[in-house]
A and B are shown apart, each in its own frame.
Chain A
């Protein structure tokens, strides 16, 4: 058997309940249990989080930077997507 550095996993941490999980980094581990332990040891030594998500890096689906224009063009021609586009009657409040 050739030497292995084990599979690569991506680590997401929620700093406290109610907040989104944010990517913290990666760990190497052979299985879920080891990945969780390594993520805990590597990324939460100082109260950085209360919950961890892990997934194998190979299962991440990412957009291609070349498609940036197509996917993320701000569509400035569609200004009706912004609230400032609309004309409100004089004196309207809380809207």
Chain B
């Protein structure tokens, strides 16, 4: 630290000094100097992450009223409440970069900001709730564990909190799958069908291959991302295959095999055409997810107006 001071005390407002701090393993805080492109890259990534948490409540919310037991309904409600909370942590982290939540939501509604592609797939039956918790949250956790060491302080702190809470999510999904695999032939077939439909989209959650990933190079240099898309995807595959085998599920990839020399699984080619067509808006649920969000946001306008009016009539505000 003393070295950094002497060497760079003259001008801390340079990209060079910023990179020096990053390379030195320092965290960047909201009011520190940062290159404009770092700020933009972070806003894009954090807001996309926040939108994903919130949009991700929809496929799961679809099954609250039809959960097969009171126990599973309570658990699902708690999980969805967590996702809403995670969205809030992340919106707050992005707000420290000078963008307002209103702007971020406007960008989402205008189709300018993305959310995770995975939520453009439908949750058709209860087995999908198992597959979402196990595979989708499982993939998200691999990414989020890595992001706990992201270079932007508020983002990192949000990730630490989220990771603490996520650990039950994946377990609830895996428990559903394990229970169904111990059930009747029909239930086993449902679980396998869900596995078949969610496996590949889950792998796509990590994004394009490193060679085709437009934002990766800067994000790695600035330590916004700590591991590449392919590295994270491989981690997810290696930890998930034994879990699938343990409960008797087949991974829908005929090219999948253990590579003894590399101590990892080799997998088949991902259908990137599907990935890009869903990103462009042609997934099964793109329109539904967005119109649902817009409708409830607009339906809530009068509540926010009433809250503001109430504030002015009471002494509960702080001047």
A-side interface residues toward B, CB under 8 Å? 1, 3-6, 8, 24-34, 41-43, 45-46, 55-56, 59, 62, 64-66, 69
- Interchain CB contact under 8 A, B308 and A65: no
Contact of A28 among B89, B101, B301 (CB under 8 A): B101
Q: How far, in whole Å, are A59 and B317 apart by their CA atoms in the complex?
A: 13
Q: Show the binding face of B for A, using Cβ within 8 Å.
A: 5, 9, 12, 29, 31-33, 78, 81-82, 85, 88-89, 92, 95, 100-102, 105, 157-158, 161, 165, 301, 304-305, 307-308, 310-311, 314, 316-318
A24 and B158 alpha carbons, distance in the complex (Å)? 9
Closest residue of A by beta carbon distance from B5: A69
In the assembled complex, the Cα of A32 lies from the Cα of B101 at a distance in Å of 20
Q: Which residue of B lies closest to A76 (CB)?
A: B2
**Neighbouring B residues of A32 by C-beta, 8 Å:** 316-318
User: Quick one: closest B residue to A73, CB to CB?
Assistant: B5
A30 engages B31 (CB within 8 Å): no
**Residues of chain A lying within 8 A (CB to CB) of residue B101:** 5, 28
Nearest neighbor of B13 in chain A, beta-carbon distance: A66
Partner of A3 from the list B29, B33, B88, B301 (CB cut-off 8 Å) is B301
What is the distance, in angstroms, from A86's C-beta to the closest C-beta of chain B?
24
Select A31's contact among B9, B158, B314, beta carbons within 8 Å. B314
Alpha-carbon distance A6/B304, docked complex (angstroms) = 7
Cβ–Cβ contact A34 & B307, under 8 A: yes
Residues in chain B near residue A29, CB distance under 8 A? 307
Contacts of A56 in B (CB 8 A): 318
What are 10 contact pairs spanning A and B, CB under 8 A?
A5-B101, A5-B102, A25-B89, A27-B88, A28-B101, A33-B316, A41-B81, A43-B85, A45-B82, A56-B318
Interfacial chain A residues near B85, Cβ < 8 Å: 41-43, 45
Cα A57 to Cα B165 with chains together (Å): 25
Asked, given contacts A33-B316, A65-B33, whether A45 binds B81 with beta carbons under 8 Å apart, the answer is yes
Cβ of B304 and Cβ of A31 under 8 Å apart? no
A95 to chain B, nearest CB (A): 30
Complex-state Cα separation, A28 to B308, whole angstroms: 12
